[in-house]
């Protein structure tokens, strides 16, 4: 199920006649359509159009021809009449293309509206994040379980990738990281040489499964998991009404990393990354904010 009906209602509130979207997280949420995944940075291009007057969404076919794409957009019912158009990104090339299609329209950043719209997750969206979390947990466990004292950071990353691929997930959220912890503070040093199974070692990894992101971090000492001071209290504080800025929450979790402003109050159904560190350990988990309390999805 997509968020199209909710989106049209939000557009009416914010006075958007149309949305032209290019970010994968928004395209998936409003259309359910997966996009071609490309390595590296993907330039903004119109990938979905939502028209308020028709309460409809249009996903143009993949094309590398700007003139053809402009023709497709001109044919979208209701779009040529749009006066105020929200966008979630823009490049000079995209601005020129959209300007040729909508020469009199005003283009406005729709990101704040979209963030608020997608902040609280539906049951189906939570299920998607939960499935991604299960893969991330298994893959990080595989990376941590490499017992060969001569194993390099690259070998441990390979174990992460292999386990995730066995679960049908071949897209990491980022390159899995294995680092040796430096005593005296939360300072990290990368290592391309052997990372022994003994000593204080930190692991971080994440995956994208069907567009849903989940990541976690752990610290081991001589093969035993270490928990930073204050972790349990930080988890318990993830309740409706708490302010993001008062908690160690770097970002929201969902269709990738979802920014959260410090003044945002947690609501039931939000999913956040919680990260705590001290002089001896780092831990990060994906936490679901529930009516009756928080649930750690990457436990």
Q: Which two tokens stand for residue 270?
A: 């939000």
Range of the domain at 222: 123-296
- Please write the tens of the pLDDT for every residue from 106-128: 999 999 999 999 999 999 999 99
If asked whether residues 45 and 110 sit together in one domain, one would say yes
> Distance (Å, rounded) from C-alpha 135 to C-alpha 127?
13
Beta-strand relationship, 293-296 and 282-290: antiparallel
Specify whether 160 is located in the same domain as 290: yes
Give the end of a domain, one of 69, 85, 118: 118
- The HSE-up count of residue 276 (CA atoms within 13 Å, CB side) is 17
Report the C-alpha gap between 19 and 9 in whole angstroms: 13
Summarised one tens digit per residue, pLDDT across range 159-174 is 999 999 999 999 888 8
211 and 269 fall within a common domain: yes
Structure tokens at 151: 């194993």
Residue 193 and residue 150: Cα distance in Å, rounded? 8
Domain boundary among 89, 118, 147: 118
* Residue owning tokens 């958007």: 16
Residue 213, SS3 per DSSP: strand
**Which token pair is 128?**
């998607």
Q: Which residues contact 155 (CB under 8 A, 6 or more apart)?
A: 146, 148
What DSSP letter does each residue of 183-197 carry, written as one string? TTTTEEE--SSB--S
Question: Could you tell me if 283 and 137 lie in one domain?
Answer: yes
Partners of 1 in the β-ladder: none
Q: Is residue 164 domain-shared with residue 53, that is, in the same domain?
A: no
Count of domains observed in the chain: 2
Q: In whole angstroms, give the CA distance from residue 122 to residue 184.
A: 43
Are residues 145 and 224 both part of a single domain? yes
Asked whether residue 33 falls in the same domain as residue 170, the answer is no
47 and 160 fall within a common domain: no
Domain's final residue, options 118, 148, 171: 118
Structure tokens at 38: 């490309």
Residues 130, 211: one domain?
yes
Q: Mark whether 167 and 281 lie in a shared domain.
A: yes
Q: What is the CATH number of the domain that holds 287?
A: 3.90.230.10
CATH code at position 33 = 3.40.350.10
Q: Are 146 and 289 members of one domain?
A: yes
Q: Is the domain of 48 the same as that of 136? A: no
Q: Which residues contact 218 (CB under 8 A, 6 or more apart)?
A: 140, 144, 202, 203, 225, 282, 283
Structure tokens at 47: 């990938």
Q: What is the pLDDT along the chain (299 residues), one digit of tens a residue?
A: 578 999 999 999 999 999 999 988 888 888 877 765 554 456 678 999 999 999 999 999 888 899 999 999 999 999 999 999 999 988 898 999 999 999 999 999 999 999 999 999 999 999 999 999 999 999 999 999 887 767 778 888 999 999 999 999 998 888 888 776 554 444 444 444 455 555 788 899 999 998 899 999 999 888 889 999 999 999 999 999 999 999 999 999 998 788 899 999 999 999 999 999 988 889 999 999 999 999 999 99
């Amino acid at each position: 199920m997509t968020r199209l009906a909710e989106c049209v209602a939000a557009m009416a509130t914010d006075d958007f006649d149309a949305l032209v979207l290019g970010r994968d997280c928004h395209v998936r949420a409003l259309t359910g359509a997966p996009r071609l995944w490309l390595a590296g940075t993907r330039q903004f291009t119109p990938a979905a159009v939502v028209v308020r007057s028709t309460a409809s969404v249009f996903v143009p076919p993949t094309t590398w021809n700007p003139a053809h794409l402009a023709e497709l957009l001109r044919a979208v019912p209701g779009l040529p009449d749009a006066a105020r158009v929200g966008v979630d990104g823009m490049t000079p090339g995209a601005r020129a293309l959209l300007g040729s299609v909508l020469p009199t329209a005003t283009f406005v950043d729709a990101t704040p509206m979209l963030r608020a719209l997608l902040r609280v997750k539906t049951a189906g969206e939570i299920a998607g994040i939960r499935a991604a979390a299960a893969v991330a947990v298994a893959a990080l466990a595989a990376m941590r379980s490499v017992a060969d004292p001569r194993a390099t950071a690259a070998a441990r990353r390979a174990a992460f990738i292999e386990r995730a691929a066995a679960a049908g997930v071949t897209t990491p959220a980022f390159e899995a990281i294995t680092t040796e912890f430096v005593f005296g503070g939360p300072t990290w040093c990368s290592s391309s040489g052997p990372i022994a199974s003994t000593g204080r070692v930190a692991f971080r990894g994440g995956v994208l499964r069907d567009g849903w992101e989940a990541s976690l971090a752990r610290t081991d000492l001589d093969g035993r998991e270490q928990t930073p001071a204050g972790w349990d209290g930080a988890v318990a504080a993830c309740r409706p009404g708490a302010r993001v800025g008062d908690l160690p929450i770097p970002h929201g979790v969902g269709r990738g990393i979802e920014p959260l402003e410090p003044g945002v109050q947690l609501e039931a159904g939000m999913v956040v990354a919680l990260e705590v560190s001290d002089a001896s350990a780092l831990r990060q988990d994906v936490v679901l904010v529930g009516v009756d309390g928080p649930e750690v999805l990457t436990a």
